[in-house]
Chains A and B, each alone.
Chain A
Amino acid sequence: MALDGLIILDTTGRPIVQSGFHSFPPAYPLLHIDAVNTALASAKRPSDVDPVIYVQGLNLESPSACCHMKRGELRYLCPVSGDVDPLYAFAFLQTFVDILHEYFGHLSAETLKDNFDIVYQLLEETLDSGGHPLTTSPNALRDIVLPPSLLHKVLSVAGVSGLASSTATSHPFASPIPWRKAGVRYNNNEIYFDVVETLEAIVNKNGTPAVSTVWGRVDSNCKLSGTPDLLLTFSNAQSLLDCSFHPCVRLQRWSRDKVLSFVPPDGKFKLMDYRYAPATASAVAQTSIPFMLRPTVQIDEHGGSVDLTLSSRLTTRSMENVFVELYLGDGASGASCTASHGASWSYSPKTQTLVWELKQIVPSANYNIRGTFSSTAEHPRPSRAFRVRFEVPQYNYSAIKIEQLKLTGEVYKPYKGMRGSSLGNIEWRW
């Protein structure tokens, strides 16, 4: 009962990196790769493929399953055998992807190939051959496996790499706190918080929201020396519900006082997730949708017409990178539209989706797109809803603020910075 290994597939479905699979026949990983590729090929939409695929093993006694997920352009596979909670596999995959991100930034087949030796080291350190995660805390890992750096590369080319690495790895696991490196020093002690909030909503045909929830996350980048013990107070902590925290946060303290008390890891990490529930008197406290969409969709034989008007409800800020998408249904063959304000639209024959893209929506202006689409189906059946995605930079639905950041355990005074941004992912039914 364990994770059998890890495989990374490139865009064409071929493996780039795979772990050992020591105790399995050589065909075992291939079986899983095939299962995933077959499922992907036969699915109408790639997202329809079940993330857990049952794979009948080579012998009947050992059924296994393949948990897979796509992040960026790569697909990560984790075959499991025995009755493992699939979430265990997915949590591990996600952790591994995060680690790779941390090491290499943008992930692509190219970056992995460039740094395959590091990838292999990471793989060995994070997953034991018995199938259990070993070290996954980025801070501890950085002690064991050196991240790629320019200096390191130059040194290794020059052949003196042993010197470069020996300093950092001579005392791995020396830190008393598993998630924090020991002996960190910075000249400027600073810590940054990025608050990203996503509004997820479904709007009914009559324009009233059926559900609208704000999910937020606080990412942090910590550059503090020594072992700082932080106490972070939010201005409106009471309206943050359903929270989840980085392991460094003292949970008791939060449940008692609604303050975050923690010794942060070094570098970037996700501090917390939360759901924002506006503190209003009404029972159904929902965040309002920051725009208004007036859709008219007419469906005729072998086609139809679309007329959309979008206007912002925000009074001061503008929305950016707004995408309005409509799946035109099986058999859709093309579309032609005109969009106001020089906005662009496109039709993707592959996904049969009409996309209207607006770079910026200023307050109190109406944007319109109208056009027709054609279909080979006699009665086209487009999706019953528009999907709208947008960004509002420098803004938070919850207006969350850091009230105070107290530091104990060290003598310096840290600089703290906070930045907010908001996203939206809204389904608008017509």
Chain B
Amino acid sequence: MAALNLNVLTENAVRLGARLQETLSEQTRDLSLRASGSAYLDNPEEKVKNIRKQLDSNSDREKLEAMKRLLALVSKGRNVSEFFAQVVKNVASHNLEIRKLVYIYLLRYAEQEPDLALLSINTFQKDLSDPNPLIRAMALRVLSGIQVPMIGSIVMLAIKKCAADISPYVRKAAALAIPKLYHLDSTHQPELIKIISTLLKDQSPLSLGSVAIAFEAVCPTRLDLLHQHYRRLCRTLIDMDEWGQVDLINLLIRYARVMLPRPIPATAAGSSLSFDVDSDLKLLITSAEPLLQSNNPAVVLAVARVIYYLAPQNELPKIVPPLLRLLHVSPEVERIVLTNLAITSSALTDVLAKSYIAFLVRADDPQRVKKDKVRLLRAVVNPENYPSLLREFICYADDADDELVADSIQAIGYIARVIPESTQQCLTALMSFIQSKHDVIVANAVLVLKSLVQIRLQQQQDAIAYGALPSTFSPLEIISRLARRLDEIRHPKARACVMWLVGQYAASSAAPDNSNGLTHAGPEGIAPWAPDVLRKTAKSFTQEAPAVKLQIITLAAKLLVLSPADRTIGLLNRYVFSLARYDLNYDVRDRGRMLSALLAGVAPNVLGDSDDMHEDVGGVVLRREQVRLVLFEGKSSAAEEPAATNGTLHSPFAHDDHGRFGSLAAVTGKWAGSDNYLPDWLEEGTESSLRDTEADVPQPPVLTAQSSAARSISSNSARPTPIVLTPTGGGASPAGSFSRQQEGAKAAYMDLDRFYEDTEETEETEESESEESEEDDGDDDGSHQAESSGEESDSDEDESEVEHLQGTAR
């Protein structure tokens, strides 16, 4: 070989010398080292015109230069299809370099100029027999690229010819041409299927991946064709190229879901340690599993899909370390893998909890990554690791990224809810946030505190036995602290929130012991700090945001109901209500009018003296107890809605996890076509003897030994590449397998109850987890479900009040 090279070199050198002498005089400027490159890119117009002449010239050099110019124009985005005719002529050139460039050009423009391409179709057909496999493949690619239905049968012939080629590379090109022809003219389907099933027998691993693509495109439902090849495909998986592995794995997953029985726990008692796994399914899993060590992240995720969707529960943890490894590959890969991990987080909580340190958020992570990491950290909170996670979240609250701040403060609230013993620490942290100088931190902390307070009060009501309530942070203590810090809380939502809390619980503080709680049946009186809040806010009423104004008047009304005799409160009320009546915002005016009408019976002298409104309106005047009921009971039990059910609204996928793991839809959160849809298991798979081939019968599938053997063969010896068609047992009879399939389906029907039980079990747990995490992203506070379907808790409150009002009035 070296000698050969040398010969060629010397020969080249000689010719070079001769050539150089000829051309040096005219070409000296081209001899700069950049000559082959950007010189072509600045094409003056006259040179463009020249191209045509150059293409027609006799000199290879001229032609080559013309072709390069053309490609340069292509890369500039210019349409050069006008030269098509001249270029096509050169397709038979003896110079390989020119030919390759011509084919590149043709691949681009054959579809735009089908008529011209048709003229040269003979050349392409001739090239299908070229000794160089590269040219054969190129010719086929161009042929299949010409989108003219008329030549469908010619392409068909070409594909047939190439499918039997000796070079696996050409066979691969043939497989890739199949979907294009099918797209062009679907009447060829039967023949194409025949070719596909021939190609499936291919011994070379190179083309199998492309065959899988062709299969998915042409006959995705004919999984029965795979019976005979299934085991061999599984075993050759490891020897294929990485892209083929991904494509084939996706096909095999679908096959397994449709044709193989699902793994069921071996013992009915439900000890989840051992599973009955069909041997064919096991074959797929065990032959895919080593590929978790692949260099290619797409392969790793595909294998993870195999295990996630096919393997029995107890094998799921295997996918975690490889996925965690991917987090370090590149930022893009990290972002996608995190999203996928979040999907698995419900099934794999325990495993992920052990390696939560992989999800610690770095200050320089991209936004999406931060969000997903917090989601994952939330998902793995458990009684063992909560102290360190809490520390992390507290740390993130200082981040410069507002979204991360919000997420992590909400996560603290979440910890406080799910881990009762952590409540004290969480509250301490949240209270300290309120003193922060940054609005975002304060606002989020207040929102979370509000929901916590409500839950706590609810719990108090539910079970007084909760005797061990920490005295420093009893809910009312929190409210009073919040009230005291009102001046520093500037975020409108947070301010509104605090005021609502003050108003709602102003009464109960006088009688904390009397805690059949929210009915406020305790003795009269108002917490000492409540009127002061009203005083302060009344002063600043005009500068407040509308949401805050609404709460100020609500607060005023509530205090008045609680203590109608108090003169100061009366005066404050009068002041606030008159401001509200002339406010610019009609919501505020509305609310003011409604509340003053409500209060007409409570303290007529306070609100009514300047006005005769309620007399005009007529209708029922409510007694104080009624008003009180309306104002305070509007949504008392709102806080304790279970956080689970609502999340479905956010994710259209929550109900069916058919192939969501590892899909584009999971990443963009939008529908992306249903290609990745995974069917549910059949209750009983198809007969395994279907998959027996003659080669299989003597040797049971001892997979590990075999695939390693296959691999060592493939790499050690110079393997003869020509196709050896394995004698397969006379071809699968589709009819037979079809009836079997139906039987399987029938069996599933007969046992429908169990079938549903099974699926529901697994799916439910998954849902609730993912929902919880998603739902909290959107809502201002996690627990506050019923009232906070959107963001404006106030307006909802409003509605419920109105409803109550109507109810009582009638």
Contact = CB atoms under 8 A, between A and B. Distances in A.
B4 to A, nearest CB: 8
Contacts, number: 335
* Binding site secondary structure of chain B: helix
Interface string B670-685: 1111111000000000
B409 interface: no
Given A132-B247, A164-B12, A247-B294, A124 B104 contact: yes
A219 interface: no
B472 to A, nearest CB: 25
B357 A211 contact: yes
Interface in A348-379: 379
A242 B668 contact: no
B19 interface: yes
Contacts of A52: 335-336, 664, 667-668
A160 B19 contact: yes
Interface stretch (A82-90, A390-398, A411-419): A82-90
A119 to B, nearest CB: 8
Contacts of A144: 134
A161 interface: yes
Contact of B673 (A82, A255, A270): A82
Contacts of B64: 156, 159, 161-162
B15 A163 contact: yes
Nearest to A54: B668
Given A159-B61, A161-B97, A245-B293, A251 B238 contact: yes
Contacts of A86: 336, 664, 667
Most A C-beta atoms less than 10 A away, residue of B2, B291, B364: B364
Interface string B236-254: 0010011100110000000
Contact of B41 (A80, A116, A185): A116
Interface string B69-81: 0011011010000
B438 interface: yes
A178 interface: yes
Contacts of B157: none
B704 A69 contact: no
A163 B664 contact: no
Contacts of A62: 673
A169 B96 contact: yes
B97 A162 contact: yes
A1 B673 contact: yes
Contacts of A67: 332
A383 B405 CA distance: 12
Given A327-B363, A329-B400, A167 B98 contact: no
Contacts of B30: 157
Nearest to B715: A263
B290 A163 contact: no
Given A270-B295, A329-B400, A47 B664 contact: no
Contacts of B291: 251
Interface of A: 1, 15-18, 20, 22-23, 45, 47-52, 54, 62-65, 67, 69, 80-88, 90-92, 94-95, 110, 113-117, 120-121, 124, 128-130, 132-137, 144, 148, 150, 153-167, 169-170, 172-173, 176-178, 183, 185, 200, 202, 204-205, 210-211, 215, 227, 229, 241-248, 250-255, 262-263, 270, 273, 275, 327, 329-330, 379, 381-385, 387, 409, 427, 429
Interface of B: 1-2, 4-5, 8, 11-12, 15-16, 19-20, 23, 27, 30-31, 33-38, 40-41, 59-61, 64, 67-68, 71-72, 74-75, 77, 94-98, 100-101, 103-104, 107-108, 111, 132-134, 141, 145, 167-169, 172-173, 176, 179-180, 206, 209-210, 213, 216, 238, 241-243, 246-247, 290-291, 293-302, 321-322, 324-325, 328, 330-333, 335-337, 357-358, 360, 362-364, 366-368, 391-392, 395-396, 398-400, 437-438, 659, 662-665, 667-676, 704, 707-708, 711-712, 714-719, 721
Given A50-B368, A159-B64, A166-B96, 12 more contacts: A63-B670, A86-B664, A88-B246, A128-B141, A132-B210, A133-B243, A134-B173, A154-B31, A172-B133, A172-B134, A178-B206, A251-B291
When A and B form their complex, which 5 residue pairs have the shortest distance between CB atoms, in order from nearest? A114-B37, A159-B61, A162-B95, A51-B332, A252-B708
